[in-house]
Amino acid sequence: MHSGLSYIFEKSIQSVDPSVAMPYWDWTVDVTSNAYLNKSNAELWSWNVWGSEYFGIANNNAHTVSEGPWAFTRLPTDYWNDTHNPYGYMRAPWNMNSLPYVTRFNYTGSAAKNFAVTDMGMPTCMDFWNLIEDSDSWFDFGWGLQYDPHARVHSVIGGSEAGTSFENNVAKHFDDDVNEIISKIMFVWTKNMWRNYKIDFPTVCSPDTPQHACVGSCSDIGDEIQNRDIESYINTFGDSTVISSIKSLVLEDQIEVVTAMCESSLCIGDQMESASPTDISFWPIHPNLERVWMIKKLSGTFTDESWPQNSTSKSSDGSTCYGHGSEDLLPMEGIVSGTEGVEWNATNLTNSEWYRLLDPLNGHMPYLYDDFTLKHCNFYNLSFEQWLPTTDDGFI
């Protein structure tokens, strides 16, 4: 799906200037060249890509880019469909962000009790290497690709800010190590609670409602408390340290923590949620991941590329989640023009067909990547060249 979005984006910009190509951002180059190791916010945000001529910097009180071509990019408004932000912005229903511009927080937690997003760590060459080396099937590779080599990029750029309930009613119960974990997985907990119908958010909050005054609520928590069972809320955190820490509290304090989380009015940076395409830094991320998949394909080490037919574990509306199946149609239109006159009707493309089209050995796509060697990873004694077939001229 993301590669399809990238393809559509490239065709869009080529309609303005046919000479341009979709750029990709290999952040592991920045990680390596900056000798990155849990660097501070100041060091990471000094990377060249955050200059005004590229993605722009958002280290200000407005939490938005203020210089360059992407300065003060506004979110689309009046999106009053079934799943909308209470303020009418094109954001997830669980995102209480009232700011009108593309938002990047450089921390998680609340404004008064926060933790640097860089503590999550940008993915490194080792994340790419481990994925290629350890995944023999497309299922395992595709499942793993979305997490360590990918998700942290969105999380570090987006960040989040909870309301005062975080420091007043959550943080006081734990040490900073636990609080930091909670702050970094709050957005996942909130999203999963919403998907499982355990948390409700206002349908509408007026534009003058303060940032953290538009709050959610866990409507069934009273029944859970009455039954002395709120584990379904606690276990949704999915982190053993957090779960055990909350469960070690007396019931009254457990209730306080869970209720505060429900009412935290979490504001999520756009890169950290489903509105991520509104941030310009979204678009060069996924071509780089496509390139890593192509390295795996070129290595010839897939032993099973069958598309998984089992139901998704993430769906709360029935047993399947449309869009993930091998024969589900992609939301694309028009013609995919490949090399040597090959053309495909994108209107009828399925996931499995798109997967086959992307195979770098087929030559069907109208673009090429300039490099698969990732030579900067030699810094870690990782030679990606060993995964590549050779020709008379050297590596592909």
In DSSP terms, 114 is beta-bridged to 109
Question: What are the helix (H) ranges across 92-201?
Answer: 125-134, 138-145, 151-158, 165, 176-195
Residues 103 and 226 in one domain: yes
Q: pLDDT tens digits, residue range 327-358?
A: 888 877 776 766 556 667 767 788 888 898 89
Helix or strand or coil: residue 210?
coil
Q: Is the pLDDT of residue 311 over 60?
A: no
| Contact criterion met (CB below 8 Å) for 13 and 370 | no
Q: pLDDT tens digits, residue range 36-91?
A: 554 566 778 889 999 999 999 998 889 999 999 999 999 988 766 777 889 999 99
Q: Is 96 inside any structural domain?
A: yes
pLDDT score, position 78? 76
Residues 187 and 329 in one domain: no
Among 247, 278, 309, the domain-final residue is 278
Q: pTM score, two decimals?
A: 0.89
pLDDT score, position 38? 46
pLDDT score, position 381? 95
Q: How many residues are given for the chain?
A: 396
| Contact criterion met (CB below 8 Å) for 105 and 117 | yes
Residues 214 and 327 in one domain: no
Spatial distance between the Cα atoms of 237 and 181, rounded to a whole number of angstroms: 10
Q: Quote the domain boundaries for residue 365.
A: 286-387
Task: List CB contacts of 102: < 8 A, sequence separation 6 or more.
Answer: 64, 65, 70, 73, 74, 75, 270, 278, 279, 280
The bridge status of strand 394-395 relative to strand 160-161 is unpaired
The bridge status of strand 390-391 relative to strand 394-395 is antiparallel
Residues 159 and 307 in one domain: no
Residues 73 and 206 in one domain: yes
Q: What Cα–Cα distance (Å) separates residue 272 from each residue in 65, 103, 161, 370?
A: 16, 10, 12, 29
Spatial distance between the Cα atoms of 202 and 273, rounded to a whole number of angstroms: 18
Q: How far apart are the first and last CA of the chain?
A: 26
Residues 250 and 295 in one domain: no
| Contact criterion met (CB below 8 Å) for 374 and 384 | yes
Q: Is 113 inside any structural domain?
A: yes
Among 278, 308, 331, the domain-final residue is 278
Among 278, 299, 316, the domain-final residue is 278
- What domain count does the chain have? 2
Q: Is 394 inside any structural domain?
A: no
Spatial distance between the Cα atoms of 174 and 245, rounded to a whole number of angstroms: 8
Q: Average pLDDT, stretch 318-332?
A: 74
Q: Which residue has the higher pLDDT, 119 or 270?
A: 270
Q: Is 299 inside any structural domain?
A: yes
Q: Average pLDDT, stretch 144-162?
A: 93
Q: Is 393 inside any structural domain?
A: no
Residues 177 and 230 in one domain: yes
Indicate the burial class of 188 (C-beta count within 10 angstroms; 0-12, 13-18, 19 or more).
middle
Spatial distance between the Cα atoms of 185 and 24, rounded to a whole number of angstroms: 28
